[in-house]
Amino acid sequence: MDDSQKAEKLYQKANNFIEHENFEKALEYLDLALKLNPIFAEAMSKLVFVHYRLNFKKLSKSKVFEIAEKALNLNDKSPITWKHMGNAHFFMEQYVKAIGCYDNALQLDKNYDSALLNKAISHYQLKDSDKAIEYLKKVEEIKPNFKFFYHS
């Protein structure tokens, strides 16, 4: 098994820790994956989410933004890197730019439910409830178990 395959396995383990909300352990595995494969854009961009969930205790928002930019520059054909670049803009309260990144992610994967959800939340932040609800409904179409409440 070469280093890139080992890095992929570590990335999958990190995702498992993320699912179980063990973000410290996820960060550890992502760092290990990136030591083996420093140009692993998806692992790099996943750091954006992990640092957010760790409330930017280990890295500032601006440093996390730089990681997102680097990941996107390494692989702009990945919906994951686009989504996390969108998240980085969102954390900086740049909601219009975030929506543009989520749109790019959705061009690459039209059923990327978390990009749709984040796009909905960005529209909500921009006080565009109609658009937010529109995208929440699209998430519900893709993920029937996803439920949300809204007032029309």
* Res 41: pLDDT: 97
* Res 144: pLDDT: 80
Ordered by start, the domain boundaries in the chain are 3-142
**Residue 136 and residue 150 in contact, taking contact as beta carbons nearer than 8 Å:** yes
* Res 151: pLDDT: 42
Question: Cα separation of 135 and 138, whole Å?
Answer: 5
* Res 147: pLDDT: 62
Question: Cα separation of 64 and 98, whole Å?
Answer: 15
At 30, list the tokens. 């992502």
DSSP at 152? -
Indicate yes or no: pTM above 0.85. Answer: yes
Question: Cα separation of 35 and 14, whole Å?
Answer: 14
Q: What is the CATH number of domain 3-142?
A: 1.25.40.10
* Res 148: pLDDT: 59
| Mean pLDDT, 10 residues at a time, the chain of 152 residues | 94 97 97 97 95 95 95 96 96 97 97 94 95 91 71 42
* Res 152: pLDDT: 42
